Structure formats: structure tokens, C-alpha cells
Structure 1
Amino acid sequence: MVSVDMSVVNLGLPEIGTSLGFSPVGLTWVVHAYALTFGGLLLLGGKIADLYGHKRILLIGLTVFGLASLAGGFAQEPGHLVAARAAQGIGAAVLAPAALALLTATFPSGRARIRAFGVWSAMSAAGGALGVLIGGLLTEYAGWEWVMFVSVPMAAIALALAWRGIAADPPAERRGRPDVLGAVLATAGMTLLVFGVVRTDENAWTSWETLGTLAVAAVLLAAFVHNERTTTRDPLIRLGLFTNRSVAGANLYNLLLGAAMAAAFYFASLYLQVVLGTSAARTGVQFLPFAFGVVVGAVISVRLGYKVAARTLLVGGGLMATVGFAWFGLISADGSFLADILGPAIVTSLGLGLCLGPVVSIATAGVAPSENGTASGLLNSSRQIGASLGLAALGTAANERTGDTVTPQTLNDGYGLGLTLSAVLFGAAVLIALTVIPRSAAAEPETAAAD
């Protein structure tokens, strides 16, 4: 559900803009409002889940998400829809770390853990591709309102299943006073970082608006790190987590994976619609092989995970995805779905399916149970920040390649460059897996002692 809502509105934006009277600038906030609150609040959401119980916070997050989706479908003015999308992001920021922390705690090791993270990764990645399909079909045949309403039954079903199927939270551990200052600094810094990056679609990277925003974000995040090192309260995130090479390496890998994947989805969708002239609904259907490929790759990852080290799957899957992205970069202006999209989509999706489960497992390996939510929030945050940075940076590069003369050929050249750069990012992720992540992740939780 969370992954679907990252992409489900994209194909409905033109109709949303016409129906509610959005300005061209205002329309971008239908996407940005969700990304901003989701990315900015993930660390805080993970900490809240650790403090108040993973099941409890999951249920609250699902309720907020479902109600926000319902409100968004009934929006009558631009501000109503933007506020609903922001509320969806808030719900996602608390439920996503809580859900992943529950998986980590329920399946601490062994075959069940490999299978659980394989299923989770397949749903997470396939959701993004299915969001394009769902958004295209609903926009064309039911109306833009349904790109919001579609999350209501998903939230209701998930809420019922979680209420009945997840064990009650254990009694809360006695903790020190909460680090309110750290929470404010981290949330403000992350939010400004995402804000500065996503606004580069209007403000150049060298503009004072972008540079000023990113500078303030950097100062706030530096102050957050200093606060976490010196605070006498219960820190938002224990910096000792980053001395765990599994946690540090997996988050770096995940950041680059998020950057490459978000940019590739964006460029492939534009290529199909703008260059090849494919309709929104048909574009969504043509993303189905990608979704199926991720699921198949995840199943293979589960099978191999019983015999092959997780790092090996990260490297193998990463190399396959790198080849797929590079193949995507060969698109042509007079091409077709069969000639230019289907083959690379299959290769790329299989590679992603192979590595998505292992990166989650590695990122939570050796983490104390009391920090599962924090580690999960950090992992989700690295993916979200990577997606924002990658889309903005590669989008700028693609626009530069396209130039002032916009034709199918120049647009194709820009999109092709963006997809090729996605391959470069994934190649860098493979190098991180080889050099930073240990050959075998820690099997037992580390102690939660203060740094």
C-alpha cells in the first residue's frame, strides 16, 4: 500500500489538475506532499514504534493512512488534496518502520526470516510498478478520485489482519527521558533535505533557494548528530548502530538502489507515454512484466537464501540490475515496447527481486530488539532519500541532455542518459556490497548499551 501510493497518482496528475484547478506549480505538490512527510518523519516514526509498541503504532498508522486516503478522494479544492497526501505520508512514516520491525522481531533468524523478507521485498517493489498500472486504469476508466479511494480497502484489510494476526506488544521497557531536541532536529533536517531536493524541478541546483535549503538541512543534521553524541536522554538513534558494518553498508546500498529505481521508473514511464505515445492505461499494463519479474526474483532469492550468503545475492542481483539499467539506456525514439522495454524490464526486475530481501535482512542483522523500529526507519529513510536525490539529480542531467529544442529524439536522448546513469548508481551499490558489508551478517542481536 505504501509503495503503491508513491506512484499511483502520477498518471492521474493531468486529470487531477484539470478537475481541481491546480496551477502547474501547485500540481507537483500532490507528489511532493507525500514524499516530504514520509521521508522527513521516518526516523521519528521508527523511534515511536520502538517506544510505544510496534503493533500499536502499525494500527494507528494504518488508520491515519486509510482516513487520509478517504479524505483525498473527496477533495474539492487543491489544498484539500495536498493536505490529504501529507497525512498519507505521516501515516506511512509510522506504519512502514513498525511493519518492518514486526517482521524482524517475529522472524529473527533462519529459513522463516529469509522467506518473510523475500515476501516483503516482492510486495514493496511490485507495489511501485502496480501503482503505475492501477493509477493508469483508474484514471482512464473510473476517475482520478479512485487513485485515492483505492488505498481505503487496502488499509481496512491490513488493519483487520494486523489486529487479529499480530501478537500483542510486550510490556514496554523502562527507558530514559525521550530526546525531544534530537527528534526536532532530525525531523526538520530530513524534511528540509527532501524539500530542497524535490524542488529542484523548479529551482536549479545552483539557485539560492536550493543551496540555502540544503545548507540549512546540513546544519540541522550536523546538530542532530552532535546532539545524539552528547545527550543524556534516550537518543532518537544510537550512533553505535553505524559501527555495525551490516547496517551501514546495507543503508548505503539501499540509498543507491532507491535512487536508481525511482529514476528508472520515471524515465521509462515518460519514454512510453511521451516518446512512443502510449496511453496512460496501456503504460500501466506494460509495467506488469516488471512487477512479475520482481516477484519471481524474490522467490528465487528465497530459494537461494538457504544456501547462498546474503551479500552474494546483493552482488549478483545488483550486477543483473546494473546490466538491465544499462540496456534500458539504449532506448530509441523510433523504438517499441517489445524492442526497447520488455527485455531490460525482465532483467532489471529479476535483479531487483534478488537483492531487495537480502538488503533488508542485512540492514537489521545484529540489531537489538529494542532498536528494530529505529533500524527499520533508517532503512526506509535511506530508500526514500535516495529516491528523491536520484530523481532530482538524474532528472537534471536528462533535461540538460534534452536541451532547449524538445523533440521525440532529444527527449529520448535525455531519458536514455538518465537510465544509463541509473546503471552507474547500481554499479556503485555493488561496490559497496563488496567492500563494506561483511561476508556474513551478524546473526545475534547486539547489546543496546549506550555508545
Structure 2
Amino acid sequence: MTVQTLRTSSAPAQSGNRLGLVLAACCLGQFMIVLDASVVNVALPAIAGDLHFDRHHLQWVNNAYTITVCGFLLLGGRLADLFGQRRVFLAGAVLFTLASTVGGAANDPVTLVSARAFQGLGAAIMAPATLTVLGTSFTRPAARARAFGLWSAVSGAAGAIGVLVGGAITEWFSWRWILLVNVPIGIVLIAAVCWVVPETQGRDRSRKLDLPGAVTVTLGLMATVYGVAESHTYGWDSARVLTAMVAGPALLAFFLVYQAKFAQQPLVPLSIFRNRSVSAANLVVFFAIAALYSTFYFFTLILQQVLGYSPLETGLCYLPVSLGIAIGGWGISSVVPRTGPRPILLGGLALSCAGLLWLSRADEASTFTADLLGPSLLLGFGMGAVLNATTNAATSGLPARQAGLASGLLNTTRQLGSAVGLVSLAGLSAARIDSELADGKPGGEATRHALASGYGLALSGAALFTVAGMLAALWLPVRKASSRSQGGDETLAP
């Protein structure tokens, strides 16, 4: 394989203020990406009524985004390595902004779903680039940890903030502004990328994109996530789900064989998985995100269907989670270089597990202050620390030419975790609810109790995901503190 040497076209040393602006641009890009994965949830009933969606097809407002992001993330990560982080970041931001404009103006379901798919493509191009830029701009351990800490805090909190933003916009304005709000933000982001993000360029003109590998892994990931997403509607024994679940893993298996035996310049050099830190961090983040994003879904249902909260009230209830993630992710950043990621992951996952088990006890008689506030804060603090440490572990210690690859892997794992976690726990929850209602008459308190029981079981399942994450975290190597982490780092602008 040809080794690509990267160089930055900007000045070798950047000021603290300049680095702060780079960090702000990367965080803003990631915020938009994660926000759009959750912001439409509260608005789905309004979208269905306005555009006359069939109830079986409404899920594609979300699925079109999620499946496209997951399918193209590895390709997006490799593009940043091969063609330059700034131009790829810029291309993703432009595509995302244009797709948001079309989606906000959509007058029929096909246009909206297509726009969401192109949003997902823009996100898949942009997301790995944000991490690649951080990894190449912040090279000293403590500054790198702080940068990843803020990026992780923004990434985690954006999912919770999306529910608040979606509820407020839907209740006060129109669901269209859920998408159109990306337009002015996107314009600011595009200007920031052009102004402050340094470029990387390959000196080796013989570099090539592994097109067979890119097509195979993209189709394999999309088919797998499609099958998982559709199973909730059509069942695991339906023809479309079975076809997708056979074709997806088969394509991914062929991709691995092709990368190992035949590709001259592999899209994913399998040697990257020999790095225990990279492999373990991706496994941890799979289980952590499976727990976190499933919790967003079931917590919303508890608030609205069991406790009867409005969309705006539901969004406000997510503020403690968002605050916890932000404080946990940013506050732990100075500790990671001294201790290494493993103890942070074990502690953060333990806190998250405790919060989820506490939250699983919520029922129709629960109140926010007594029964939901405490577990929300525990979950937020724990997951903020986990997201910080996994980002650091999955991208550090690698050569610059693999920064985009590692970023694409991490983001792909996040998407797979969210899809697999939600579908598996949704099935578990539905079975419990059906069982609770089988012998009783639906309606009123009995229905609310059954829903609380089913959603509580799902949250207990999410707690088991965090336990699996702790087991995976034990595989991480123990790191000694770096002497450089104690001082002499780049200064981040506030």
C-alpha cells in the first residue's frame, strides 16, 4: 500500500485563538449532524398531517437520514484522508445546507425523504472530517483531550438538545423550521471552514480511491441498517427484512476478504484493528451509543405517553441530560491524558448504568423532580465522560494518514449502535406491553401502567448495554501518563 504523507498548507504553528476557531467550526459541524438525527422526532405527527404521510412510511423521515449516514461514513472518512480535510469538510457542509433548504420547502413525502437522504450524505462526508481536523490540529496530549472533550460533549448533548429544539419549533413555529434553521447555521459554518480550517494535501500523486471496496461496504452497511430499521414495521420473517439481513452481512464479509487479499490501496487497511485501543474503543462506543440513543427514544415516550407532557415540556426535561453530558465530556478532558481512557470509561459506564436502572423504575405516578432528575444527571455525566474517552482512544496513536479512517470507523460504529440498540429494545418493550395488556382492557390507567412497564424494561436493557461496554473497556491497554500532558500545550480560546 502506498503511504500517503500529509502536510498542512497553513502555518506550522497556529495561535491559541486560531485553534479555538478551528475547534468551534468542528463542534458546530458535529452539532448540526447529531441534532438532525433527533430534532425531527417530536415533529413527526405534524409532518405526517401536513404532507399526508402514510403511517408505515413516516419512519423514513428518520431512516433515510440514518441509513445514508451509516452507509457512507467510511467512504467519507477516506475522502478526508485522500483529498484534503478542508475541501471535504466544505463539500459536506454545502451539501447538508442545500439539502436542508430543499427539505424545509418540501410539499410531498418523496421530496422530504429524498432531502433527508442527501442531508445524510452531507453528514457522512462532514462528520469524519471534523474529527480529522481536530486530530491533525491538536497534537499535544492535553490540548487534544480538551478538544475531543468539547467535541464529544457537543456531540452527546446535541441528541438531547434536538428534542428540546424540535419541541419548541413545532409548538411555536412550524416543523419546516426544524430543517430551515440549518441554512443560516450552515452559511456560518461554510464561511468558518473556508477561513480557519487548515488543508491537508497528499504529496503522492498515485493515490487512488478503492472504488470496489467503497461500493461494497456502503451497500453492505446500508442493507444491514435498512433490514434492522424495517424489522420494527414488517417483522424479522418478512421477505424484505430477510433479504436485507442476508445481503448486508454477505457484502460486508466480501468487503473484508477483498480488503485483506485483493485491494492494492484498501479503503480500510485491516491492520488498523491490530491497534487494541482502536478496536476496543469502537466496541465500547457501540454499546454506549446503543444505550444512550435508545434512552432518548424511550424517555421521550415515558414523558409524553405515560406522564402526559407536551412536546415543549418534553424538550425541557432533556436539559439535565444535556447539561450532564456537556459537563461530563468537558470536565473529564484534563484527566484523560493522565489516567488514560480505561478508568474513565469504566467509571462513566458505571454511572450511566446506575442512572438507567434508576430511570427504569419510572411509572405513571412519577414526578420529574423526585424520579427523573437524578437519573438524568447520572446518565448525562457518565455518558459525557464515555464519549470523550472513546473519541480519544479511537483516534490517538495513529499516523496522520489514517485520521479520517479512524474517524469514519468511530462514527460508523455510533450509527450501527444507535440502530441495533433501538430496534432490539423496541421489540423487547413491545412484547412486555402486549403481555401487560393481554388480560386487561386497554385504556386509561391500565394502558399507562403497561406502557411504563414496557419502557422500563427497555431502559433496563439499555443498562445491560453499558455493562457490555464495561467488559469491552477492560480490553483497552493501560496507558502511562505523558509528560507532555502536564504543560506546554496549545491554549484553547474560551
TM-score range, shorter chain: over 0.9
Write the distance in 2 (CA, Å) between the matches of 1:184 and 1:132. Answer: 34
Match of 2:66 in 1: 35
| Native 8 Å contact 2:220 2:252 kept in 1 | yes
- Alignment match, 2:148: 117
Output the CA distance in 2 between the equivalents of 1:353 and 1:213: 34
> Does 336-345 or 286-295 show the bigger shift?
336-345
Contact 2:82–2:202 (8 Å) recurs in 1: no
Q: For residues 203 and 290 of structure 2, what CA distance do their matches in structure 1 show?
A: 36
Structure 2 unmatched ranges of 5 or more: 1-31, 483-494
Q: CA deviation at 1:428?
A: 0.8
Which has the larger displacement, 365-374 or 90-99? Answer: 365-374
Residue 442 of structure 2 corresponds to residue 411 of structure 1: no
2:339 alignment counterpart: 308
- Cα offset, 1:70, TM superposition: 0.9
Give the structure 1 partner of residue 314 of structure 2. 283
Q: Contact 2:395 / 2:406 at 8 angstroms: preserved in 1?
A: yes
Higher mean displacement: 164-173 or 127-136: 164-173
The one-letter code matched in structure 2 to 1:425 is F
Q: Who is 1:233 aligned against? A: 264
Cα deviation, 1:241-297, whole Å, max 9, x if unaligned, reads 111100100000011111111110000000000010000011001101110111111
- What does the per-residue CA deviation read over 1:216-250, in whole Å, with 9 as the maximum and x for residues that have no partner? 11110000000001124211100001111001000
Q: List per-residue Cα deviations over 1:116-146 (Å, max 9, x = no partner).
A: 0011001101110110000000001001101
1:244 alignment partner AA: N
Q: 1:237-248 to 2 correspondence within 5 Å?
A: 237-248=268-279
Tell me if 1:218 matches 2:258: no
Please tell me whether residue 439 in structure 1 is matched to residue 470 in structure 2.
no
- Per the alignment, residue 341 of structure 1 pairs with 372
- What is aligned with 2:20? none
1:177 deviation in Å?
Answer: 3.7
- 1:43-442, aligned counterparts within 5 Å? 43-403=74-434, 405=437, 407-434=447-474, 436-440=475-479
- Aligned-partner Cα distance in 2 for 1:218–1:442: 40
Deviates more, 1:360-369 or 1:403-412: 403-412
Deviation at 1:306, TM superposition (A): 4.4
Residue ranges of structure 1 left out of the alignment (5+ in a row):
444-451
Provide the C-alpha distance between the structure 2 equivalents of 1:37 and 1:399, rounded to a whole number of angstroms.
27
Q: CA deviation at 1:212?
A: 2.5
Aligned residues of 2:294 and 2:422 also touching (Cα < 8 A): yes
Matched residue SS, 2:264? coil
Q: Is the 8 A contact 1:175 1:234 kept in 2?
A: no
- Letter matched to residue 207 of structure 1: S
CA contact (8 A) 2:105 2:176 kept: yes
Alpha-carbon distance in structure 1 between the residues aligned to 2:481 and 2:34: 29
Q: Which runs of 4+ in 1 moved over 6 A?
A: none
Structure 1: distance between partners of 2:163 and 2:397: 36
Q: Secondary structure at the match of 1:2?
A: helix
SS in 1 for 2:479: coil
Structure 1 counterpart of 2:382, one-letter code: G
Instruction: Name the CA distance, whole Å, in 2 between partners of 1:390 and 1:441.
Output: 34
User: Whose radius of gyration is greater, 1 or 2?
Assistant: 2
Q: What SS is found at the alignment partner of 1:426?
A: helix
Q: Kindly state the Cα deviation for residue 365 of structure 1 after the two structures are TM-superposed.
A: 1.9
Displacement after TM superposition at 1:357 (Å): 1.0
Amino acid at match of 1:253: V
1:376-427 per-position Cα deviation (integer Å, ceiling 9, x unaligned): 0000000100100000000000000101625111111110001011010011
Q: Deviations over 1:163-184 (max 9, x none)?
A: 1111233344344443211111
* Count of aligned pairs between the two proteins: 442
The code of the aligned residue for 1:408 comes to R
**How does the TM-score come out when normalised to structure 2?**
0.87
Per the normalisation by structure 1, the TM-score is 0.95
For residues 16-35 of structure 1, the aligned pairs below 5 Å read 16-35=47-66
Cα pair 2:339 2:479 within 8 Å, conserved: no
Task: Look up the equivalent residue of 2:477 and give its one-letter code.
Answer: P
Aligned equivalents of 1:108, 1:189: Cα separation in 2: 34
Displacement of 1:19 after TM fit?
0.4
337 and 71 in structure 1: CA distance in 2 versus 1, 3 angstrom threshold: same
2:469 maps to a residue whose letter is: A
Instruction: For 2:320, give the aligned amino acid.
Output: P
Decide whether the 8 Å contact of 1:255 with 1:386 is kept in 2. yes
Counterpart of 1:403 in 2: which secondary structure?
helix
Quote the RMSD (CA, aligned, Å). 1.5
**Secondary structure at the residue paired with 1:111?**
helix
Q: Distance in 1 between matches of 2:480 and 2:196?
A: 29
Letter in 2 for 1:211: L
Does the 8 Å CA contact 2:259/2:266 hold for their aligned counterparts? Answer: yes
